Amino acid sequence: MPTDPRTPVIVGVAQLTRRPEPERDLARADEPTELIAQALDAAAADAYGGSSGGRDLLESAQSLRVVAPLSWKYPDPAALVARRLGISPAEHGLTVIGGNGPQVVIDATASAIKRGDLDVALIAGAEAMYTRVSATRRSVWLAWTRQDEATPPPVMFGTDRTPVTEAERACGLDRPVHVYPLIETALRIARREGVAEHGERIARLWARFADVAAANPHAWSTGPLTAAAIAAPGPGNRMVALPYTKHMCANMQVDQGAALVVCSVEAARAAGLPEDRWVFPLAGAEAHDEWLLSHRPDLCSSPALYVAARACLAAAGLALDDVEVVDLYSCFPSAVQVAAAEIGLPLDDGARPLTVTGGLGFAGGPGNNYVTHAVASVVAALRRRPGAVGMVTGLGWYLTKHAVGLYGTNPPSGGFRRMDCQAAADAETAVRPWSEAAHTGAPLRGLRRAAGGASGPATIEAYTVVFRRDGTPEKAIVACLLPDGTRTWVNIDATAGQGAADDLARMAREPVEEAGITLEATGSASLR
């Protein structure tokens, strides 16, 4: 059957990685919009097989859609990129905050092309956080563009809202590096796994990611790491938040950019683009879990990702076994484990690794833009495997916002489909039983209530210990379940006396959920 001329297709991809160089003059380092422009130049050339024929393709773009940078603030970065490239797209776009953003904007772009609203679109993002942080440490002035705040706003892609309650923020749950370790402990407790066994398992998982990064020419980190090296705290690998060392955390201090050129089949053929480089978006699905941690049925699952992945596969007419190439969003090990469990992927399938890049810890975690790198890498992998299908997931906030995309070298038989799975995600959340609590009787389902100012005995649902940079414990963040299943949050602070210090030391070495916790009306708490 002939391919519908309105079928969206990714025709060009590019990735840039500017690793540290001792001789580099930080004051002259490229800012994010410059990296974006360079990535788009390279992606347009890639569409022609790496030749210099990409100029006409850039000039024909009707929309330039940028993944929001975090390392520098621009009201409309697409305007600066267009000026640098000397092009005049009719539309400038910008994503909201969230690692799901690139997949969301790809879905929106593919849908617009299918409708006939666009023929050629550019999608790109970049971060220069390594340069930004290094310049701050060395007191180097960066003469990067300061765009007028009165610049007309771009078209926004994605949805967002405040990710935490004030009670959650007060406990320290406003940072991913605190929340995902807590989710990791919730996973361990749910699995009834020992501390040592659990630590060894996630270190082995992350070592496999490091191996993939070592073979990725675009990765920020260039060498493999053993599971023992990832797990063991030491110089260059401090303990950040139990059970995560630095090697287990996303690395945002990178200078990286990535870009995609997306066309209709009609426009791609008119431009003379070689079809053996085409990769088709097959389907996309999006949903969010209950926004606030306090109200979720448990802290280690994702009903939204469960329904989004299945809806995406169904929309493309595929089964999970048809997917040969996978990249799961990998800011922390807990995110990968939850995603794999909800989608139905084994963690240790040597024939189908869970990343094509090496993940945000080793390949690099350029703010909101990691998924653009993942899609570019999946496109490259699929070009080498005609007929294969790839899956990419994106994630925003704290297992909150999810996007799933499927890609293939063959066009989708029923056309590209974008699925809004929110109603199904809400329905799935409503029937999920709560994680084990101290209450008795029939399992409770749906959203939890949150409590404040509770006192008395409670069950420990999850916890983490946050460490200072010198390796000493600072505080614990504990999710507690009251006898009626209500959830509340407490801190155990190292400055609260010897009893608190002893509790923190104990939490760092043994499974304290077996003992439980006693809450005081003053807001303090102690292990039993």
- Give pLDDT tens digits for 83-127: 999 999 999 999 999 999 999 999 999 999 999 999 999 999 999
CATH number at 295 reads 3.40.47.10
How big is the chain, counted in residues?
Answer: 528
**Domain final residue, candidates 380, 412, 430:** 430
Measured distance CA(511)–CA(463) in Å, rounded: 10
Q: What is the pLDDT of residue 245?
A: 97
Q: What SS3 class is residue 429?
A: helix
Look up residue 8 and give its DSSP letter.
E
Q: 501 with 386, same domain?
A: no
Residue 428's region, left for phi above 0, alpha for psi from -120 to 50, else beta, is: alpha
Tell me the residue type at 478: V
Question: Does residue 363 share a domain with residue 466?
Answer: no
Per the domain annotation, does 472 fall within a domain? Answer: yes
Does residue 399 surpass a pLDDT of 60? Answer: yes
Q: Among the three residues 430, 447, 472, which one is the final residue of a domain in this structure?
A: 430
* Residues 467 and 366 reside in one and the same domain: no
Burial of 327 by CB count in 10 Å (0-12 exposed, 13-18 middle, 19+ buried)?
Answer: buried
Q: Are residues 280 and 362 in the same domain?
A: yes
Query: Does one domain contain both 287 and 341?
Result: yes
Residue 63 inside a domain? The answer is: yes
CA distance 510 to 185: 12
Tell me the chain's radius of gyration from C-alpha atoms. 23
Say whether 341 sits in a helix, a strand or coil.
Answer: helix
238: in domain:
no
74 in any annotated domain: yes
Assess contact for 363 and 258: CB atoms under 8 A.
no
Local confidence band at 441 (pLDDT 50, 70, 90 cut-offs): low
Chain segment 157-193, per-residue pLDDT in tens: 999 999 999 999 999 999 999 999 999 999 999 999 9
What's the average model confidence in pLDDT over 468-488? 93
User: 411 with 485, same domain?
Assistant: no
Q: Is residue 386 part of a domain?
A: yes
Q: Distance between CA 349 and CA 334 in Å, rounded?
A: 17
Confidence of residue 8 (pLDDT cuts 50, 70, 90): very high
| Digit-coded pLDDT (tens) for 215-267 | 999 999 988 899 999 999 999 999 999 999 999 999 999 999 999 999 999 99
Amino acid 507 reads: M
Same domain, 414 and 296: yes
| 217-221, 267-271, 362-366, 484-488: least confidently modelled range | 484-488
CA distance 219 to 15: 10
Task: Say yes or no: 153 and 274 in one domain.
Answer: yes
CB 121 within 8 A of CB 65: yes
Domain limits for position 306: 8-162+250-430
Closest by alpha carbon to 63, among 108, 101, 6?
Answer: 108
The residue type at 488: T
Establish if 178 belongs to a structural domain.
no
Q: Domain for residue 189, yes or no?
A: no
Tally the domains of the chain.
Answer: 2
φ, ψ at 200 (rounded to 5°): -65, -40
Mean predicted lDDT score pLDDT of the chain: 95
**Residue 494: closest CA among 465, 473, 467:** 473
Residues 366 and 476 in one domain: no
Say yes or no: 396 and 479 in one domain. Answer: no
- Kindly state whether residues 365 and 409 are assigned to the same domain: yes
Q: In the listed set 412, 430, 448, which residue is the last one of a domain according to the structure?
A: 430
Clarify whether residues 365 and 460 are in a common domain.
no
Residue 43 lies in a domain: yes
What are the φ and ψ backbone dihedral angles of 172, each rounded to 5 degrees? 100, 15
